[in-house]
Amino acid sequence: MLAEEAARCTAEAVVGLPSGFMLDGATYVEGARLGFEGADFYFAGRGGLLGDVDAAVVAAALVFFNPSTVAAAWDRSRSVMPRRRAVAAFAGCLPAWAAGHLAGGVDYQRLAALAGRVVDGASSAAAPLFAGWRALPEPEDPTALALHRLNALRELRGALHGAAVIAAGLEPLEAVLIRTPHMAGLLGWPEPHPEVASRRPLWEQAEAATNRLVGRAYGVLDDGELSELVDLVRQAHAAAT
């Protein structure tokens, strides 16, 4: 299996599986307990990887969100706790989600090992959230460790996709409306939304470019390992409840 093909075949799971802990109700119950309002825990937990920076810096890294939505949440969360503490608290929700939502029968230890090699060997150029997540302490439990490393790959893919979208001549909102139109409101984009059907070929170019870029990182694995990684990622995705 080619590395680019493996990147394409794992894209859905790499994007979708770690989002489970990020969007889980229990995560926001914990955020509220800590003093965060609404979804602010999400922005503090992800954006805090960049440090206590200006909101515009966080919006630049969270490519597909409306910058004004990011700024409002980032500024509200500033007084709740220091940024590094918010990151640790947000990341700390991952092991509990993995324990409660990832069923057995998957070799999570092997998945963690293969994903870890990709994460360790990947360039962090143009991917600041990936670099920040990669620098965090990792959980010891194999299931949580696998999910932790898959989230690193999610941050890598997200950053490279953002760059590919911009390079293709698309606006972030256009890409959202083409790929996940139901998410536009959640990402802070108010209606009316532009017509984007004619822009789909540009998005498809960006998606292909993303797979090529992510494939470079997957290239640390040989053909057999790539096939194994794809199989294990798919098993983990199917095991999620």
pLDDT at 1: 85
pLDDT at 37: 97
Show the CA angle centred on residue 119, arms to residues 178 and 172, nearest 5°.
Answer: 20
The string of pLDDT tens digits covering residues 133-188 is: 999 999 999 999 999 999 999 999 999 999 999 999 999 999 999 999 999 999 99
Domain extent at residue 140: 3-239
Residue 55 CA: distances (Å) to CA of 46, 75, 167: 12, 7, 23
Give the whole-angstrom CA distance, residue 28 versus residue 39. Answer: 7
Give the whole-angstrom CA distance, residue 25 versus residue 27. Answer: 5
pLDDT at 241: 86
Which residues 6+ apart lie within 8 Å of 145 measured at CB? 108, 109, 112, 116, 138, 139
pLDDT at 152: 98
Q: Which residues pair with 240 in a beta bridge?
A: 102
pLDDT at 53: 98
Give the whole-angstrom CA distance, residue 141 versus residue 109. Answer: 9
User: What does the CA dihedral 200, 201, 206, 207 come to, rounded to 10 degrees?
Assistant: 70
Residue 144 CA: distances (Å) to CA of 28, 85, 103, 104, 160: 19, 20, 12, 12, 24
pLDDT at 234: 97
Give the whole-angstrom CA distance, residue 33 versus residue 89. Answer: 11
Residues lower than pLDDT 50 in the chain: none
How many structural domains compose the chain? 1
Which residues 6+ apart lie within 8 Å of 49 measured at CB? 87, 128, 129, 132, 133, 136
pLDDT at 191: 97
